Structure formats: structure tokens, C-alpha cells
Amino acid sequence: MQKTILIPGGAGYIGSHTAYLMQKLGYKIIILDKFIHNQKFDHNWATVIKADFADKNILEQIFTENNIEAVMHFAAFIEVGESVKKPKDFYENNVIKTLNLLDTMLKYNVKKFVFSSSCAVYGNPIKLPLDENHPTNPISPYGKNKLIVEFALQDYFNAYNLQYVSLRYFNAAGALPTIGLGEQHNPETHIIPLILRAIKNKKIFKIFGSNYNTPDKTCIRDYIHVLDIAQAHVLALKYLENTARSNIFNLGTGHGYSVKEMVEHAQKICKQELLIENCDARAGDVDILVANYNKAKENLGWEPKFSSLDNILQSALEWENRIK
């Protein structure tokens, strides 16, 4: 029988790619999304409910009318800087509403949950690459939100047997332009779309910080293609179905690129020069974040396959050219 997956945040960047892959594999998809980015989502392969994922009536209706196998939860405020300025909104949306969602799941005896977590739970790295045993000491409200939910999940698993996989994403990037999926944040704050737009529109790209403790003095991040992240969700659900366990996994490539390296690569791919300005560092950015993904490899059989920098930038460029 076709299994039904509820995906709060399924019209967002990572959620939409995952929802697409899940339905390709035969799952029935219900997306519950408020469209906070006013993003376009005109795909008919999912049932789309436009509502807040904390709307109790809607949730009750979804769980009553459908036999939900699992929930994959992507709906969250994601901007680290904003979380520092508006922690109340972030705790409300990312923590309280998520706990409500878990409670409704328990009420309807739905006990499989895949959670979008983040490498922001680690804070300043003590040892690189980061593995899942690295101390968690988040520096932003956003990172704390994610860690608090992970703690709740541990307790819910122990007390109520709500099984979960928490996936700690490093830097999601790239797109599936031929399917009509890609990054549509409003406002856009992420490095790759901003570089590509600056090149195209001959505008200045701001490098945030040039005094980091890295070889070229700009921040180093681990960029992972969204399709690889989506694939990890498929495997996470299999893990929940095949084991009675819960777990936490990093999703990254194990290789980092600096902001300057990203700029250089993008210029090569676009065959155009980029105007840059060196600006102050952004609050909350640490020098280097690079994942050790061995645990996901061993337990899920997951490995990045689409995350070469060329593929990430090419797919993002094609997407940018389509959405204009």
C-alpha cells in the first residue's frame, strides 16, 4: 500500500526537493506550508495545504483523514542573524510549534519523525571535521532552537517511543532546475544565489569578513547539494522502518570551500568577473565548518553524490536563469 508522508515546510528549499524525491519513490506526499517566502510551487505531485504547521484544526484534520506513516519536518525560520534579533519569534516557531506537532503525532499514534537540524548546534568547532560527538555549544538562538528540539526528541523517544532521525545539515546548495525546484528565499541571504545574481546584474557581492583564521582569511563552509540531502531523508525513513532506533547524523561532504574560492569558481562557471567588496564579518559566523559524515555512511549507507562544486554551481545557475 502507498505510504503517506506529511511534510511541514515541504514547499521550502530543502523540503521541496525531498518531497519530490519521496513521491518519485512511490510515497504519497502531503505538504503543509505557509509559503512564508511567497515562493512559487505549482507541482501537482503533492497535496499542498497552505497553512501554518501549528494550526491545530488543520493538523487534526490531516491526521484524522490520512494514515500518516511519518512526518518529515522542514518548517523553520532559518536565518541565524535574524534569530539573534528576534529570538522570541524563533523560539515560538522553531521550538514551541514543533513540540505541538510532536504532541499531535503522539495523539494519532504516528511515531516516525525526521527532523531538519543543523551544524549550528555545534557552535565554535574545537576539532575539525565535526563529528556527531563534538560538543554542542550553539552560539545563536537558531542553533539553540535546533538543539532544544533534539533534546525533546531524545526524551520523547525514551518515554513515548517516538522514533526519530535528526539530520544536521551543513550548507545546503544547488538545485534541480529541470524539475522546477531550487532556492527561493525572500529575502535571499545565501552565498551562492547572491554571487550568481551579482554576476548577472553586475552588482557588488559583499564578502562578510576577511580576517578569519583560514588560509585566505574568508570563512570556510561545507556545501552539500540539496538532492544529496533529500536522498538522506529517504534513507533516514528506511532506517526508522528497519530499526527500532533513533539517531543523529551529519550531512556534509567532508570538504570545505572558502568564500573567496566560491567567488573564483562562480566566475569561472559564469565566465564573467564579479565585483566584490570586503565588508565586516557577519554576527555568528565561525571560521570553519566542515562535516565528518562517516556516521551517516555507516548507518544509512549515505554518501554525497551530487555535491561537486561544479554541479552545485551549474545547477544553481541554471535555476537562477529560469526563475527570472
What is the grid cell recorded at 54?
501549528
Binds ligand UDP by CB under 6 A, chosen from 83, 163, 166, 171: 171
What is the grid cell recorded at 210?
576577511
Say how many residues touch ligand UDP, by CB under 6 A. 14
Q: Confirm or reject binding of residue 80 to ligand UDP (CB under 6 A).
A: yes
Binds ligand UDP by CB under 6 A, chosen from 76, 114, 148, 219: 219
Residues 6+ apart with CB under 8 A from 275: 198, 202, 203, 204, 205
How far apart (Å, rounded) are the C-alpha atoms in residues 95 and 100?
9
From the list 109-117, 151-159, 188-196, 245-253, the region that binds ligand UDP by CB under 6 A is: 188-196
From the list 38-46, 185-193, 230-238, 300-308, the region that binds ligand UDP by CB under 6 A is: 185-193
Contact between 283 and 200 under an 8 Å Cβ cutoff? The reply is: no
Let me know if 142 is a catalytic residue.
yes
- Collapse the DSSP code of 223 into the 3-class scheme (helix H, G, I; strand E, B; otherwise coil) and give the result: strand
Dihedral angle, C-alpha 33, 36, 38, 44, nearest 10 °: -10
38 sits in the region (left: phi over 0; alpha: psi -120 to 50; else beta) called left
Q: Confirm or reject binding of residue 267 to ligand UDP (CB under 6 A).
A: no
Q: Confirm or reject binding of residue 285 to ligand UDP (CB under 6 A).
A: yes
Backbone angles phi, psi at 38, to 5 degrees: 50, 35
From the list 22-30, 104-112, 149-157, 200-208, the region that binds ligand UDP by CB under 6 A is: 200-208
Contact between 175 and 223 under an 8 Å Cβ cutoff? The reply is: no
Binds ligand UDP by CB under 6 A, chosen from 282, 298, 301, 322: 282
Measured from the CB of residue 131, what is the shortest distance to ligand UDP in angstroms? 19
Q: Confirm or reject binding of residue 200 to ligand UDP (CB under 6 A).
A: no
What is the grid cell recorded at 121?
548546534
Query: What string of DSSP letters covers 62-79?
Result: HHHHS-EEEEEE------
Binds ligand UDP by CB under 6 A, chosen from 58, 99, 194, 270: 194
How far apart (Å, rounded) are the C-alpha atoms in residues 278 and 281?
9
Nearer residue to ligand UDP within complex by CB, 18 or 171: 171
How far apart (Å, rounded) are the C-alpha atoms in residues 19 and 7?
7
Q: Confirm or reject binding of residue 62 to ligand UDP (CB under 6 A).
A: no
From the list 124-132, 141-149, 204-212, 270-278, the region that binds ligand UDP by CB under 6 A is: 204-212
Site residues, ligand UDP (CB under 6 A): 80, 171, 189-191, 194, 206-208, 219, 221, 259, 282, 285
* Active centre residues (catalytic): 142
